[in-house]
A and B are shown apart, each in its own frame.
Chain A
């Protein structure tokens, strides 16, 4: 509705115009009316005066019945435009003279005054009324004058109002409208985003102060917007560039938000692709229904999700392991509406854990195999089977051939089996050799201390189980040796386990195992394993390292012979000596490299 949008200026101007018009008009009207009254009043008095004058002046002429004199007198007055008629009437003779102008009906009205004409014959004679004079004046002239005056005043008033109006218009425009327009423009610019726009402050009055205040407000707005933008930029940066996946998931399993890392984790190119894939009609969802429910339950009970490991399926179907840290974000009704989480890909860690576990199992298995009787038993078994079969088959063949009608087919079959079993036995021997060496020694530059340190954790459980205390005294600046790390580890492991076993029946003294390393004879590195066990019989010192020699009640005695052959293949020497007090020391020396 237009009325409401009428500008301040217009309103003011209209009001002013109205006001001035009313006031000026009213005053003018009042003035004019007053003047009119006065004029008319004056006219009446004039009429009376004229009548009075005539009544005296016409006394003699009327007595004298001097018509000419009377006419002259009358005519003298007549050029007066207001005089309409003067008539003289004699008492005896009736109307004596009338001087009248042509006139029509007078809408303005006439003023009539009648005066008796009196004549006194002499000074002291009584005055006799000899006639009367009638003077008629018209208001028309007065009215015309008044009308003219009225018009003039009206024009003047209009002129004043117009001038006032124009002046006010200009003043208002300069003092009010222009500043307000500028203010309006600046506020629009600020609101539109130009936070550097400022209103010019050109006066100290209200508008100027307002402009100042708007500027101050704009300053504050600019600062807080800048701070907000900076904060947003900072967090957006984190969100966009994080290596971890950041996402928001609602109870229904729909993705509300995701960052690029999240998309990459699942195998999509962009977050929007991921979101539309997960939320789309054919989606399998990011988590399974069960997983989603479980997660929200955890949030409800614990308030957070910390370090939960989950398996997810990527776009291409491959599985990944992830670790989830998440918190709940409340909805309008106070319940947890959605889950805001951080996903870290731990697939490689999981794989490494699995691989490590596997390696540990294999190493443990290998450890058992090299040092305990199981190796012996399994070798024995593996060789004895073919040998047993060979003996049985050949004996059977001999028996068959010894009959009158030898079953030659069976004999042939039996002998063919003998060949096969012979090969089988040979394979076993080969495997044992391979196992002892594992591969051709892959020689690399090693620190013997590292080899010892590698092995110690592996025997920790055995050491604890047997109540052994283990000490290492490893030389600080040990020269390097060239060797196959795994094989040398096997040697050290074997010596340690031997030492433990040697102490297994010791009860009256502490079971101490000491591993030492030092330079030896200038160009060698020595590693010694000393135990406080049952010691060695000096006479069997050499036999110790023979294959199948064992003083142990169980076991085949393979470990030391394999150990020696490894050391010798490294160009070194393995030997043992009894200790002065208890137990024995097994040591090996390897050539050092500069």
Chain B
């Protein structure tokens, strides 16, 4: 299956191998992917406007994922955000959802779960 769309999926994670592997995974089903090593990099990128969905790790160097989420919510970007996190606890889940995340996946995540979440987000 290949998903053609003009929208890009942006991945923000400070871990290089995770960044690369998520990009591979998304590309393997046909998404167009941009990967960023930090929240700042993403915010400064011109591709931001084309982002249809953001896959975001909570724990980042520099501005952390939660703050980026809140920033996007405050600026009314409307980009659906999928959170990846090692913290499995409810408190984090609550906070992320309150800040506007559409989905929260614990690490290690299941591949199909991520793909489903991205598809859902893009078709919103």
Q: Mark B73-112, 1 if CB is under 8 A from A, else 0.
A: 0000000000010110100000000000000000111111
Which residues of B lie under 8 Å from residue A397 when comparing CB positions? 24, 28
B20:A389 contact, CB within 8 angstroms: yes
B21:A393 contact, CB within 8 angstroms: yes
Interface centre among A377, A389, A554 (most CB of B within 10 A): A389
Cα–Cα distance between A454 and B114 once the two chains are bound (Å): 50
Which residues of A lie under 8 Å from residue B115 when comparing CB positions? 395
Would you call A522 an interface residue if the criterion is a C-beta within 8 Å of the partner chain's C-beta atoms? Answer: no
> Can you give 29 A-B contacts (C-beta < 8 A)?
A380-B107, A381-B86, A384-B86, A384-B107, A385-B17, A387-B108, A388-B108, A389-B20, A389-B21, A391-B21, A391-B108, A391-B109, A391-B110, A392-B24, A392-B25, A392-B111, A393-B25, A395-B28, A395-B115, A396-B27, A396-B28, A396-B111, A397-B28, A398-B28, A400-B28, A410-B24, A417-B20, A421-B17, A553-B89
Question: Shortest Cβ distance from A573 into chain B, in angstroms?
Answer: 33
Count of A-B residue pairs with CB < 8 Å: 84
A384:B108 contact, CB within 8 angstroms: yes
Which residues of B lie under 8 Å from residue A553 when comparing CB positions? 89
Would you call B59 an interface residue if the criterion is a C-beta within 8 Å of the partner chain's C-beta atoms? Answer: yes
Which residues of A lie under 8 Å from residue B22 when comparing CB positions? 388-389, 392
Which residues of B lie under 8 Å from residue A554 when comparing CB positions? 89
Would you call B43 an interface residue if the criterion is a C-beta within 8 Å of the partner chain's C-beta atoms? Answer: no
Within 8 A of B (CB), among A109-128: none
Cα–Cα distance between A413 and B17 once the two chains are bound (Å): 12
Would you call A414 an interface residue if the criterion is a C-beta within 8 Å of the partner chain's C-beta atoms? Answer: yes
Partner of A388, one of B18, B26, B28, B29: B18
Partner of A389, one of B17, B29, B87: B17
The total of chain B residues at the interface (CB under 8 A) is 25
A396:B17 contact, CB within 8 angstroms: no
Interface centre among A396, A410, A420 (most CB of B within 10 A): A396
Which residues of A lie under 8 Å from residue B21 when comparing CB positions? 388-393, 396, 414, 417, 421
Would you call A399 an interface residue if the criterion is a C-beta within 8 Å of the partner chain's C-beta atoms? Answer: yes
Would you call A245 an interface residue if the criterion is a C-beta within 8 Å of the partner chain's C-beta atoms? Answer: no
Question: Shortest Cβ distance from B65 into chain A, in angstroms?
Answer: 13
Would you call A516 an interface residue if the criterion is a C-beta within 8 Å of the partner chain's C-beta atoms? Answer: no
Cα–Cα distance between A394 and B112 once the two chains are bound (Å): 11
Interface centre among A380, A398, A554 (most CB of B within 10 A): A380
Would you call B67 an interface residue if the criterion is a C-beta within 8 Å of the partner chain's C-beta atoms? Answer: no
Given contacts A381-B86, A417-B20, A554-B89, contact A388 B25 (CB under 8 A): no
Would you call A131 an interface residue if the criterion is a C-beta within 8 Å of the partner chain's C-beta atoms? Answer: no
Cα–Cα distance between A9 and B116 once the two chains are bound (Å): 138
Instruction: Give me 16 other A-B pairs in contact (C-beta within 8 A), A384-B108, A396-B27, A400-B28 excluded.
Output: A377-B86, A380-B107, A385-B15, A385-B18, A385-B107, A388-B84, A389-B21, A390-B108, A392-B114, A393-B21, A396-B24, A396-B26, A399-B25, A399-B28, A413-B24, A417-B20
Within 8 A of A (CB), among B13-59: 15, 17-18, 20-22, 24-29, 59
Question: Shortest Cβ distance from B50 into chain A, in angstroms?
Answer: 22
Cα–Cα distance between A386 and B21 once the two chains are bound (Å): 10
Partner of B112, one of A385, A389, A395, A414: A395
Cα–Cα distance between A388 and B115 once the two chains are bound (Å): 14
Would you call A582 an interface residue if the criterion is a C-beta within 8 Å of the partner chain's C-beta atoms? Answer: no
Which residues of A lie under 8 Å from residue B24 when comparing CB positions? 392-393, 396-397, 410, 413-414, 417
Cα–Cα distance between A398 and B59 once the two chains are bound (Å): 28
Q: Mark A457-490, 1 if CB is under 8 A from B, else 0.
A: 0000000000000000000000000000000000
Which residues of A lie under 8 Å from residue B114 when comparing CB positions? 392
Would you call A268 an interface residue if the criterion is a C-beta within 8 Å of the partner chain's C-beta atoms? Answer: no
B20:A388 contact, CB within 8 angstroms: no
With both beta carbons as reference points, the residue of chain B lying nearest to A397 in the complex is identified as B28
Which residues of A lie under 8 Å from residue B107 when comparing CB positions? 380, 384-385, 387-388
B109:A395 contact, CB within 8 angstroms: no
With both beta carbons as reference points, the residue of chain B lying nearest to A385 in the complex is identified as B15
Cα–Cα distance between A391 and B18 once the two chains are bound (Å): 10
Would you call A424 an interface residue if the criterion is a C-beta within 8 Å of the partner chain's C-beta atoms? Answer: yes
Cα–Cα distance between A200 and B23 once the two chains are bound (Å): 118
Cα–Cα distance between A325 and B24 once the two chains are bound (Å): 69
A396:B25 contact, CB within 8 angstroms: yes
Within 8 A of B (CB), among A408-448: 410, 413-414, 417, 420-421, 424
Which residues of B lie under 8 Å from residue A380 when comparing CB positions? 86-87, 107
Which residues of B lie under 8 Å from residue A384 when comparing CB positions? 86, 107-108
Which residues of B lie under 8 Å from residue A400 when comparing CB positions? 28
Across the A-B interface, give the 4 residue pairs with the lowest CB-CB distance, nearest first: A395-B111, A399-B28, A392-B21, A387-B108
Question: Shortest Cβ distance from B90 into chain A, in angstroms?
Answer: 9
With both beta carbons as reference points, the residue of chain A lying nearest to B112 in the complex is identified as A395
Interface centre among B86, B89, B107 (most CB of A within 10 A): B86
Partner of A386, one of B17, B59, B84, B87: B17
Question: Shortest Cβ distance from A408 into chain B, in angstroms?
Answer: 12
With both beta carbons as reference points, the residue of chain A lying nearest to B19 in the complex is identified as A389
Which residues of A lie under 8 Å from residue B15 when comparing CB positions? 385, 389
Which residues of A lie under 8 Å from residue B28 when comparing CB positions? 395-400, 410
Cα–Cα distance between A554 and B90 once the two chains are bound (Å): 11
Question: Shortest Cβ distance from A401 into chain B, in angstroms?
Answer: 9
With both beta carbons as reference points, the residue of chain A lying nearest to B22 in the complex is identified as A392
With both beta carbons as reference points, the residue of chain B lying nearest to A414 in the complex is identified as B24
Question: Shortest Cβ distance from B17 into chain A, in angstroms?
Answer: 4
Cα–Cα distance between A392 and B23 once the two chains are bound (Å): 8
Interface centre among A380, A385, A386, A388 (most CB of B within 10 A): A388
Cα–Cα distance between A385 and B86 once the two chains are bound (Å): 9
Cα–Cα distance between A396 and B21 once the two chains are bound (Å): 8
Cα–Cα distance between A396 and B24 once the two chains are bound (Å): 6
Cα–Cα distance between A230 and B28 once the two chains are bound (Å): 98
Question: Shortest Cβ distance from A184 into chain B, in angstroms?
Answer: 98
Cα–Cα distance between A387 and B108 once the two chains are bound (Å): 6
Which residues of B lie under 8 Å from residue A395 when comparing CB positions? 25, 28, 111-112, 115
